[in-house]
Amino acid sequence: MRGALPGALLLVALTGAWAPALADEDAIQLRDGSWRDLTAARCAICHSLDYIPGNAPVLDRVGWQKVIQKMRDRFGAPITDEEAQEILDYLAGSYAAKP
């Protein structure tokens, strides 16, 4: 039994089964707009870009602002104040719920 565990761990490592499931970020294309590349780069550090269009129907500018602030405060997203404003402008212009 002692030899089985290292062998099983090696098998898991070799098959890649240990790796988290990642979205194919190349297939996710955000809408064109100013600050799209910045938004994609900062958001994809922590989660799939699917989050953006998936939440767009329920988030307006104020909602996106709260999300950005939460990502910074609670999760430590590396976003400067200036970048936060630019990302907010992009999300509110391209992915905000219609009133």
The pTM is what? 0.72
- E strand or H helix at 71: helix 61-73
* 33-92 pLDDT tens trace: 999 999 999 999 999 999 999 999 999 999 999 999 999 999 999 999 999 999 999 999
Q: At what angle do helices 81-94 and 61-73 cross, to 10 degrees?
A: 140
CATH number for the domain formed by residue range(s) 23-94: 1.10.760.10
Sequence-separated (6 or more) residues with CB below 8 Å from residue 72: 79, 84
Per-domain boundaries in the chain? 23-94
How many angstroms from the chain centroid is the CA of residue 59?
Answer: 16
